[in-house]
Amino acid sequence: MTADTVRLTVGQAVVRFLANQYTERDGKEHKLFEGCWGILGHGNVAGVGQALLEAELADPTGLRYYQARNEQAMVHTSVAFARMRNRLSTFACTASIGPGSTNMLTGAALATVNRLPVLLLPSDVFATRVATPVLQELEHPMASDVSVNDAFRPLSRFFDRVWRPEQLPSALLGAMRVLTDPAETGAVTIALPQDVQAEAYDWPVELFARRVWHVPRPVPEPNALARAVAVIRSAKRPLIIAGGGVIYSEATVALRSFCEATGIPVAETQAGKGSLRYDHPQALGAVGSTGTTAANAVAREADVVVAIGTRLGDFTTASRTAFQNPAVRFVNVNVCAPDAAKQAGLAVVADAREALDALRSALSGWSVDPEYRQRYRELAEEWDRTVERAYHLGHGPLPAQSEIIGAVNEISGERDVVICAAGSMPGDLHKLWRTRDPKGYHVEYGYSCMGYEIAGGLGARMACPDRDVWVMVGDGSYLMMSQELVTAVQEHVKIIVIVVQNHGFQSIGELSESLGSQRFGTSYRRRNPATGRLDGDRLPVDLAANAESLGVPAIRANGIAEFREALEKARQAEGPVVVHVETDPLVPAPSSDSWWDVPVAQVSALDSTREAYETYVRRKADQRLYL
Ligand SMILES: Cc1ncc(C[n+]2csc(CCOP(=O)(O)OP(=O)(O)O)c2C)c(N)n1
Ligand SMILES: [Mg+2]
């Protein structure tokens, strides 16, 4: 070792480097990596694993190791953490070669789809290939340099494989740049061959200097701003759609000022829910396929849609049927240029907060007319009464899901967080949840990944130890991935998990029925020897007992009164706790007056499918290309 180099393995260098990375925005610094999740196997135990041990013994505050049960889950936990921290902090994830690494693929896709940062360190096969094929190595007959980790390429915003130690510095710097760029962020992958992880090299000491990554707030280009202002000024019935970008950019105060100054009402996407408090006089709530009747009625007639920080996914646009005004124009404010250009919109490529402040000053003195204000106000009040009814339906003998949502909403605190991802609850929550805090609503609906809920709840609570986290999980999602309850116990992280038992994939059951597929294959029943079909008795699963077996106390609630009591008890609990409740799957949430494009079989021997196809063709006629 010379004066300005230090001899470390590649694994040790990675860990030392990551411990010294910071982000900065608005003058505040944050540690970029809260720690490193990992499951160790022969691919990383002696490489990154050994490095984490050395680091923990030398400085426990550097890059702490966290142990997970499943590699997919540890990516979800990291992503949920990053979402709660507005993308300024995240985790690294180390996995062993082969299945350990490919288990992270779903998490990688989820991170990239949702534009949330996470650093993945899959282990890879020997760079030297002397004993190839090694355990868990895929042999591609025509490409010896391909490994299973190449599957990360399309799922990552940055991918590199460090075949030689010399390649590490540029891989690390490239990875940090993408992780901290709001327009590019997502899953970032550096594959580390198992022999290279343990190989020593003389690194320049500057590699390990404290580095601060400044997270930019790009300002709108003056000409683009002027064009946007002209379009908004011409509007009679404008509508704002607030997406996740509003929350990640901490632009909720700017949004409120802008909407109050102009009188433009605000509708929200799944990721943008919480941008404006539910009871603000200009809040129309959710928009699109799972929207409120208020937002959808306003969207239908809107002449200008100001879409801020949204990808304009099909649930937001109701599969491009939400906006029926023939002259509708889109002004898209987005830090990510491809999103800003969607629906042939007028693109304002900028940070949400900067753009909102600039638009507010440029539009000073202009506002919508009073009749329009009154119309959207009445629509919003009508929807609020719909929510109130849905919260207190009094359905029996089993409660409706809307009553479960209502109870959690009413018992949780103003700053608490609700988490969900897949099933019938995300749609119902989008419509019905009364959001009181910009970080209070956390529904992963970019990838809508069953199994995100508990792992995500863990990450959310780790990011916000001062907020209670209410995880709402269906029985299907619970059965897919609930093992991180063990991690919550291990890390003393309190999450309140509400298991909604309705004996199957009921959201898909309802969808199936509406598409003429008769709920086929969606409920949890035994194979019936008499019919040979899955229409026998209900499966005798006991998810409360399952949670207890993992070390988490479970409260079984029968009916809505007991459920409310259970929630009060759960709130007092010290550690993670499960509340188990059974609901009636056949009570739909209030209608959105909207649509979602799911194709129906064009030909069929079944009457139900043929009828559904006719309806499908009629609804499809409303679909627009927005050119
Ligand atoms: C990993 C994954 N597999 C499949 C799906 C498709 N899917 C969406 S919701 C759902 C059923 C969820 O069941 P459950 O958690 O019990 O919720 P419920 O629909 O009963 O409310 C399925 C299979 C998905 N979103 N994610
Ligand atoms: Mg279910």
**Ligand 1 atom with the shortest distance to the CA of 507:** 19
Cβ 283 vs Cβ 292: under 8 Å: no
**pLDDT at res. 390:** 98
Direct distance between the N- and C-terminal alpha carbons of the chain, in angstroms, rounded to an integer? 63
**pLDDT at res. 626:** 84
Q: Which residues lie below 8 Å from residue 324, measured CB to CB, with a gap of 6+?
A: 300, 301, 622, 624
**pLDDT at res. 2:** 55
What is the C-alpha to C-alpha distance for residues 584 and 568, in angstroms, rounded to an integer? Answer: 22
Tens digits of per-residue pLDDT, 389-445? 999 999 999 999 999 999 999 999 999 999 999 999 999 999 999 999 999 999 999
Amino acid at the residue 600: V
Parallel, antiparallel, or unpaired for β 5-9 and 200-204? antiparallel
Ligand 1 mutation pick, 507, 519, 524, 587, max ligand atoms within 8 A of CB: 507
**Ligand 1 atom with the shortest distance to the CA of 401:** 21
For 237-293, the DSSP string reads: SEEEEE-HHHHHTT-HHHHHHHHHHH---EEE-TTTTTSS-TTSTTEEEE-STT--H
Cβ 213 vs Cβ 344: under 8 Å: no
Question: What residue ranges of the chain have pLDDT lower than 50?
Answer: 1
**Ligand 1 atom with the shortest distance to the CA of 474:** 15
Nearest to 498 by CA among 472, 476, 480: 472
Which ligand has an atom closest to residue 501 CA? 2
Tens digits of per-residue pLDDT, 108-123? 999 999 999 999 999 9
**Structure tokens given for 228:** 């946007």
Which ligand has an atom closest to residue 422 CA? 1
| CB-defined site of ligand 1, < 6 Å | 422-425, 448-451, 474-477, 502, 504-508
**pLDDT at res. 627:** 76
Residue of minimum CA distance from atom 10 in ligand 1:
423
**Structure tokens given for 21:** 């990375």
How much distance in Å is there from the Cα of 536 to the middle of ligand 2?
Answer: 17
DSSP 153: G
Nearest to 595 by CA among 386, 376, 323: 323
Give the distance between the most distant pair of CA atoms in the chain.
81
User: How many angstroms from the chain centroid is the CA of residue 406?
Assistant: 22
How much distance in Å is there from the Cα of 172 to the middle of ligand 2?
Answer: 42
Residue of minimum CA distance from atom 1 in ligand 1:
450
